[in-house]
Amino acid sequence: MSILALAIATLAMTQSSSATIEAREADRLEACVAKIEVDAEEAYEDGLAWVYQGNRPGARQCTAMALIALGRPDEGAARLEQLANSVDGGSVEQRAEYLTQSGNAWLQAGAPEAAIVTFTNALKLKPGIPDLLVDRASAHLMLEDWAEAKEDLDRAITLAPNMGIARQLRAEAHLNLDQLNLAMADIDAAMAADPENIDTLVLRGRVREAIRLSKVRVLSPEIID
């Protein structure tokens, strides 16, 4: 066999072996995620054993997600962020997934500033993803950065006009920016997308009350000395 033919055969065997390992890892990660729903503590212990066996990316993701389920979202978020930035973090899609999970865990931990950084990094890998823009807008809303949130939501709605959650969140931003007619227009669109959404119904009541109050003219009596 020529050197070239041997090299090609070796490469094919290596690729086949890598594909097998990746498939096994994907199956094990899927099993871990399923176990988190049932017993997060046991899933975490399984993840630790998996880390000890080879410290594979799937093992680190498993333990991070289990930590989030166990009420330690800040630690889980930090681990997912480290995984996204590691040399074996995988493809662009995988790294973006880790960052997205990390950002949502930071939101769960009440750390919107960290979430914004993480979502921004995810958007650098996967620009123009409506869900990521909505996630980052949620962090801005937590910080009461209404204009920043609206900017992200404008982009998300341009990309996905019928996205109910984006319309709902933009209505919240418009309400706080005192843009009441725009807020009600977004409420109507959010209701059309999801008529039974309780959060949208509550927000509609707040917007209606704000519109009512805006029409009331209260005259303060002059105080004559």
pLDDT at 20: 61
The model's pTM: 0.83
Condensed to tens digits (0 to 9), the pLDDT of residues 11-47 reads 344 344 455 657 777 888 888 889 988 999 999 998 8
The pair of structure tokens assigned to 48 is 């630790």
Cα distances from 110 to residues 54, 104, 115, in angstroms, run 33, 10, 9
Hey, what long-range contacts does 216-221 have (CB within 8 A, 24 or more apart)?
A: none
Quick one: pLDDT at residue 13? 41
Q: What is the pLDDT of residues 133-190, one digit of tens each?
A: 999 999 999 999 999 999 999 999 999 999 999 999 999 999 999 999 999 999 999 9
| Of the candidate ranges 13-22, 122-131, 134-143, 207-216, the one whose mean pLDDT is the lowest | 13-22
The C-alpha angle 114, 104, 180, rounded to 5 degrees, equals: 90
Q: What is the pLDDT of residue 12?
A: 43
- Mean pLDDT for the chain overall: 87
Q: What is the pLDDT of residues 57-69, one digit of tens each?
A: 888 999 999 999 9
Q: What is the pLDDT of residue 17?
A: 42
Nearest to 133 by CA among 146, 151, 145, 147: 151
Instruction: Give the chain's domains with CATH numbers.
Output: 1-127 (1.25.40), 128-215 (1.25.40.10)
Token look-up 């066999």 returns 1
Mean pLDDT of 70-83: 96
Q: Are 76 and 65 in contact (CB under 8 A)?
A: yes
Residue 90 and residue 111 in contact, taking contact as beta carbons nearer than 8 Å:
no
